[in-house]
């Protein structure tokens, strides 16, 4: 009997390929292809990260060299049992990015599924400032190789979530099941690691249809023989077709204008501040450049004066006229003191010059970053 049970378990495992979620999620809860601003995800510009809708994609970039950037789908209620599907592409030289499942925004927790450009994936559990591996081995830092992932293209990622099971599919092929029972529900989001840029082509979230949980009844009192009145006049039909064609063309035009309007609205949030800040930084840079030029002139003048004093000192020390030497001894002492003061001033001026150069470099970097943001807008 035990042998038969063992054979049955092995057979079922081969038939199911390891999946644990068999529920059909048929009702679309959210779909966004980022062709227009539906405001399903936040858009922001900061010194640490950028998240915007750009050219039909949702772009998330972590500018900072450390930490991660998270962007959560805007939903009023947490999700319990659902399926999420998205297509992402990681930029060159980036680390990794992926999906947040059952995200807990109050305690900074959730299940993270991330992929990288080396055709590897990893599942971790984030709880506050700690992350625990749910895949792979500690020696490999949780990373697992997958033949289903593509290196230089968009990868479609699908995850079915139910009762602590997370069935993971890459490009339509089942890959792995992660388990965790702590987070029974939560939010869906996207994230990227440090110094990484990710493009998200679309995102689809589905839930169980209401007919799966509640029986659907049909109205049996509907009349069986219902008739429809159709106007078969050819002229009338032709007029209808003309109006329908015009309406379709107008709908296309309205859709195009709406996309442009949404794009302009999204850019309006940061356009004015960037231009104003760029102007301020350019003005500050001009002031610092003038200070740098003034400091350079002072340093040059002090160097010339120092050379003159050094030559005067040599002439006095070489002179044969004793009276002249005696008379100039006190003058030389005064000049030495003045020389020391000038050297001290020269050192201070050099330090100020170096500080001005550093400040100027920082401002130039900030201007370049802001210009890059403005280029993204265009």
129-146 pLDDT, tens per residue?
Answer: 899 999 999 999 999 999
Q: In this structure, are 269 and 208 located in the same domain?
A: no
The string of pLDDT tens digits covering residues 246-279 is 787 777 777 677 666 666 655 554 445 555 666 6
Identify the domain containing residue 282 by its residue range. 265-377
Q: In this structure, are 207 and 291 located in the same domain?
A: no
Q: Per-residue DSSP letters for 80-131?
A: SSEEEEEEEEEPTT--EEEEEEEEETTTTEEEEEEEETTSEEEEEEEETTEE
Is 2's pLDDT higher than 70?
no
Average pLDDT of the residues in 45-52: 89
Q: In this structure, are 293 and 360 located in the same domain?
A: yes
Q: What is the DSSP letter of 68?
A: -
246: in domain:
no
Beta strands in the chain (DSSP E): 27-32, 44-45, 49-54, 57-62, 69-72, 82-90, 96-104, 109-116, 120-127, 130-133, 144-145, 155-162, 165-170, 173-179, 187-192, 197-207
C-beta separation of 170 from 180 below 8 A: no
Residue 263: what pLDDT? Answer: 62
219: in domain:
no
Residues 6+ apart with CB under 8 A from 267: 377
Q: Can you tell me the distance from the alpha carbon of 52 to that of 16, in angstroms, rounded to the nearest whole number?
A: 40
Q: In this structure, are 295 and 357 located in the same domain?
A: yes
Residue, of 265 and 315, whose pLDDT is higher: 315
221: in domain:
no
Whole-number average pLDDT of the chain: 80
196: in domain:
yes
pLDDT band per the 50, 70, 90 thresholds, residue 19: confident
63: in domain:
yes
The string of pLDDT tens digits covering residues 142-187 is 999 999 999 888 999 999 999 999 999 999 999 999 999 999 999 9
Residue 320: what pLDDT? Answer: 54
Is 208's pLDDT higher than 60?
yes
Q: Which long-range contacts (CB under 8 A, 24 or more apart) does 223-229 make?
A: none
Residue 4: what pLDDT? Answer: 46
Residue 229: what pLDDT? Answer: 41
C-beta separation of 154 from 89 below 8 A: yes
Is 99's pLDDT higher than 60?
yes
231: in domain:
no
Residue 232: what pLDDT? Answer: 55
Q: In this structure, are 136 and 62 located in the same domain?
A: yes
In this structure, what are the phi and psi dihedrals at residue 197, rounded to the nearest 5 degrees?
-120, 135
CA neighbor of 116 nearest in space, from 87, 93, 138: 93
Residue 338: what pLDDT? Answer: 82
Q: In this structure, are 48 and 113 located in the same domain?
A: yes
Place of tokens 């998200």: 200
pLDDT band per the 50, 70, 90 thresholds, residue 325: low
C-beta separation of 156 from 85 below 8 A: yes
CA neighbor of 122 nearest in space, from 149, 102, 104: 149
Q: Can you tell me the distance from the alpha carbon of 190 to that of 79, in angstroms, rounded to the nearest whole number?
A: 15
Residue 189: what pLDDT? Answer: 96
Is 328's pLDDT higher than 70?
no
Q: In this structure, are 297 and 188 located in the same domain?
A: no
235: in domain:
no
**What's the CATH code of the domain at 167?**
2.60.120.560
Q: What is the DSSP letter of 186?
A: B
Share of the chain above pLDDT 70, in %: 77
Beta bridge partner(s), residue 375 = none
Residue 193: helix, strand or coil by DSSP? coil
Q: Can you tell me the distance from the alpha carbon of 197 to that of 68, in angstroms, rounded to the nearest whole number?
A: 11
Q: In this structure, are 204 and 309 located in the same domain?
A: no
Average pLDDT of the residues in 205-212: 80
Residue 55: what pLDDT? Answer: 87
Is pTM, for the whole model, over 0.75?
A: no
Q: Can you tell me the distance from the alpha carbon of 309 to that of 299, in angstroms, rounded to the nearest whole number?
A: 15
Q: Can you tell me the distance from the alpha carbon of 26 to that of 12, in angstroms, rounded to the nearest whole number?
A: 25
Q: Can you tell me the distance from the alpha carbon of 43 to that of 267, in angstroms, rounded to the nearest whole number?
A: 9
Q: What is the DSSP letter of 55?
A: T
Q: Can you tell me the distance from the alpha carbon of 205 to that of 188, in angstroms, rounded to the nearest whole number?
A: 9
Q: In this structure, are 43 and 128 located in the same domain?
A: yes
CA angle 166, 171, 173 (to 5 degrees): 60
C-beta separation of 97 from 198 below 8 A: yes
Residue 15: what pLDDT? Answer: 37
pLDDT band per the 50, 70, 90 thresholds, residue 212: low
The rounded Cα 208 to chain-centroid distance in angstroms is 31
Q: Can you tell me the distance from the alpha carbon of 311 to that of 331, in angstroms, rounded to the nearest whole number?
A: 14
How many domains would you assign to the chain?
2
C-beta separation of 371 from 278 below 8 A: yes
Residue 267: what pLDDT? Answer: 57
C-beta separation of 319 from 332 below 8 A: no
**What's the CATH code of the domain at 304?**
1.10.287
Residue 156: what pLDDT? Answer: 97
CA neighbor of 376 nearest in space, from 285, 256, 266, 260: 266
Highest mean pLDDT among 121-125, 238-242, 330-334: 121-125
Residue 6: what pLDDT? Answer: 44
- Cα distances from 188 to residues 95, 109, 194, 291, 316, in angstroms, run 21, 12, 20, 52, 84
120: in domain:
yes
């Amino acid at each position: 009997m035990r042998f038969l049970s063992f054979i049955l378990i092995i057979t079922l495992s081969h038939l199911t390929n390891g999946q644990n979620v068999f529920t059909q999620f048929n009702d679309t809860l959210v779909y966004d292809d980022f062709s227009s601003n539906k405001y399903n995800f936040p858009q922001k510009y900061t010194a640490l990260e950028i998240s915007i809708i750009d050219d039909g994609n949702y772009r998330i970039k972590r500018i900072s060299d450390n930490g991660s950037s998270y962007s959560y789908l805007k939903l009023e209620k947490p999700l319990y049992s659902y399926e999420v599907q998205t297509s992402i592409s990681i930029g060159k030289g980036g680390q990794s990015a992926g999906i947040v499942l059952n995200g807990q925004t109050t305690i900074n927790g959730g299940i993270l599924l991330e992929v990288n450009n080396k055709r590897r994936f990893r599942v971790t559990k984030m709880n506050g400032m700690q992350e625990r591996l749910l895949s792979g081995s500690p020696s490999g830092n949780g990373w697992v190789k997958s033949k289903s992932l593509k290196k230089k293209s968009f990868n479609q990622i699908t995850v079915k979530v139910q009762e602590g099971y997370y069935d993971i599919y890459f490009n339509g092929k089942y890959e792995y099941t992660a388990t965790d029972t702590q987070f029974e529900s939560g939010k869906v989001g996207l994230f990227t690691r440090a110094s990484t840029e990710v493009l998200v082509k679309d995102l689809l979230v589905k839930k169980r249809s209401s007919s799966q949980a509640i029986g659907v009844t049909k109205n049996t009192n509907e009349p069986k023989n219902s008739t429809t009145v159709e106007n078969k006049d050819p002229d009338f039909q032709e007029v209808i077709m003309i109006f329908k064609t015009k309406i379709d063309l107008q709908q296309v035009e309205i859709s195009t204008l709406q996309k442009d309007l949404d794009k302009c609205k999204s850019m309006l949030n940061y356009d004015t501040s960037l231009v104003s800040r760029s102007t301020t930084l350019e003005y500050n840079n001009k002031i610092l450049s003038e200070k740098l030029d003034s400091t350079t002139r002072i340093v040059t003048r002090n160097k010339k004066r120092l050379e003159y004093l050094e030559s005067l000192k040599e002439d006095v020390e070489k002179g044969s006229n004793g009276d002249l030497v005696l008379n100039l001894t006190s003058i030389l002492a005064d000049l030495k003191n003045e020389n020391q003061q000038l050297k001290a001033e020269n050192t201070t001026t050099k330090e100020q010059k170096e500080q001005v150069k550093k400040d100027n470099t920082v401002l130039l970097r900030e201007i370049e970053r802001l210009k890059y943001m403005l280029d993204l807008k265009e």
